[in-house]
Amino acid sequence: MCKELEEKLAYHSAPALCGIKPSNLINISNNSLHKVLSDIKSLNEIYNPNNCFQILKKTDSGILLLVYKKKKLEEYLFLDDNRSYLESIGYKRSDYIDDYIYELKRRINDNEIFPHEIGLFLGYDLDDTLEFIKGNKKPLLKGVWNVYSKKEEKRILFEKYYRCRDCVVRLVNKGFSIENFMK
């Protein structure tokens, strides 16, 4: 695996790869895109369906990559309130996570406005996602996402994500392969 992808996965996706967050999103620039695309294909062949690497958008400047634990993302998106919200904004009800990701990908590529419901796909709290969509400019806390409720609970959660990221980055920098965290 190319060093750029390994470092990006460690820094931006450690919580997802370690199973404490459903998914993470990574922007990867065009610098080494050919090698990165080959590596993403290999990672999916080896680790899918447990760990999935889905390109949501590809442009001249790079790609937008969703890294997720399939089971964990299914559990989160299929919570009654999350599923109901997605249906209310036009996602068709399905028992397959791939159908939801396909619709998200379509919306990212077909619309000028980035679909803010991506927060749910990233494991953000529904209430926080809705407040952000409403344009609430006064979050109680800024961290992994803007927090509008349960500030202390989310501060603790964010710290968990940051510790995970820092640990994985440190180990990758010492020569451990990011793939050790995908098993």
Q: Domain of residue 12: give its range.
A: 3-181
Q: Which residue has the tokens 């990574």?
A: 26
Tens digits of residue pLDDT in 1-15: 888 899 999 999 999
3-class secondary-structure state, position 83: helix
**Count of the separate structural domains present in the chain:** 1
| Cβ contact 57:108 at 8 Å | yes
Alpha-carbon dihedral sign for residues 57, 62, 67, 70: positive
Tens digits of residue pLDDT in 15-53: 999 999 999 999 998 876 778 999 999 999 999 989 999
pLDDT at 123: 97
